[in-house]
Structure 1
Amino acid sequence: MRGFGAASFRHFGPLGPRRPLRCEASRSSSSSSSTNVQPGVGNAVLKAALTTGALTLAGDLLAQSFTQRHGTRLPGQSKGFDGVRAARMGGFGFAFYGPYQHFWYKYLDKLFPTKSVPHFASKVFLNQAALGPVVLSAVLLWNYALTKQMEKLPEKVKRDFVPTLMNGWKFWVPASMVNFYLVPLPYRVLYMSTCGLFWTGYLSYTSN
């Protein structure tokens, strides 16, 4: 009887011994795990946005360097680099293209989780049939809206949309095959954005 004092009865309830420490620990661990989910997702989206934004900016500078070197400036276009245009393209990569790719590749990986031929072919096909037109439409809309030339957008789409999309398929089908077969999901935005350094330069050239 010597070891039973008031402190000992704190661990007994009306129906027997209580185990508050385990319950509280499990509650705290579950709550901490639930709170840790969102920051992880947010960090991944921000990383995709920053990566794609930086590479899209570099792609535009590459396109501007090409036009400067080969004398393909449009009438009225100033000499030297256009910082506003470069920032506009970088903003497109940061605000739209990077986050969109992040969720798109996660969705494709969830929809087609294996490396079987049907799943692999479906990813490659959808990447070109769904992602390509959306990105091309978005970059044209982004540039024409921010330069206040929306009245020129229909003619631009009519003239250049299909040829640009078809050129994109020639470039992106091989890149997508490597992406979906060899590159792990966390690195797909980085890989595709790196491949897209030259493609976004081309998009910047055609859309500007």
Structure 2
Amino acid sequence: MAGLWKSYQVLMTKYPWSVQIVTAGSLMGVGDVISQQLFERRGLSHHNVQRTAKMMSIGFFFVGPVIGSWYKVLDRLVVGGTKSAAVKKMLADQDYPDALISNYYLWPAVQMANFYFIPLHHRMAVVQIVAVAWNSYLTWKVNKM
């Protein structure tokens, strides 16, 4: 596991933008797989591969680029790594009505820790790791009908 982390670090240093986008798409796909297999208990024979591919595509082509860009903007708008700066970044990040309503219990705490403890180039990965659980829940909730 340490070797994988080290390889990830090297790639993140060389190709930060690409690695963040691939991380976002991959982890969104993992979230859908977890949802289908753990929550919905579909089994591998009934796994909806197209749904997983759609989630991954959203991560690769929307979430990765948009959130990655947003974090860069936040770092330019609110400079520094102090607790105060982390609070300001977290509050700015929660400025979307749908995020504020549906994600209020999870994301402020995650983002507070993310902006305070995590370097800019790893923030996307932290969010996507937490988002695996969140996306698993959301995709289960949306598709349970």
Q: TM-score range by the shorter chain?
A: 0.7 to 0.9
In the alignment, is residue 68 of structure 1 matched against residue 3 of structure 2?
A: no
In the alignment, is residue 44 of structure 1 matched against residue 10 of structure 2?
A: no
Number of aligned positions between the proteins: 128
Partner of 1:123: 89
In the alignment, is residue 106 of structure 1 matched against residue 72 of structure 2?
A: yes
**2:36/2:47 contact within 8 Å kept:** yes
Instruction: Give the SS at the match of 2:105.
Output: helix
**Cα deviation, residue 116, structure 1:** 4.1
Instruction: List runs of 5+ in structure 2 lacking aligned partners.
Output: 1-11
**1:53/1:93 contact within 8 Å kept:** yes
In the alignment, is residue 183 of structure 1 matched against residue 113 of structure 2?
A: no
In the alignment, is residue 86 of structure 1 matched against residue 52 of structure 2?
A: yes
User: TM-score with structure 1 length normalisation?
Assistant: 0.56
In the alignment, is residue 197 of structure 1 matched against residue 128 of structure 2?
A: no
**Cα deviation, residue 115, structure 1:** 3.2
What CA RMSD, in Å, does the superposition of the two structures yield over aligned residues? Answer: 2.3
Instruction: List runs of 5+ in structure 1 lacking aligned partners.
Output: 1-39, 70-78, 137-164
User: TM-score with structure 2 length normalisation?
Assistant: 0.78
Q: 1:49 and 1:122, CA in 2 relative to 1: closer, same or farther beyond 3 A?
A: same
Deviations 1:25-81 (A, max 9, x none): xxxxxxxxxxxxxxx9xx432211110111000000111121127xxxxxxxxx721
Give the greater-gyration-radius structure (CA). Answer: 1
**Cα deviation, residue 196, structure 1:** 0.9
**1:68/1:80 contact within 8 Å kept:** no
CA distance in 1, matches of 2:48, 2:129: 22
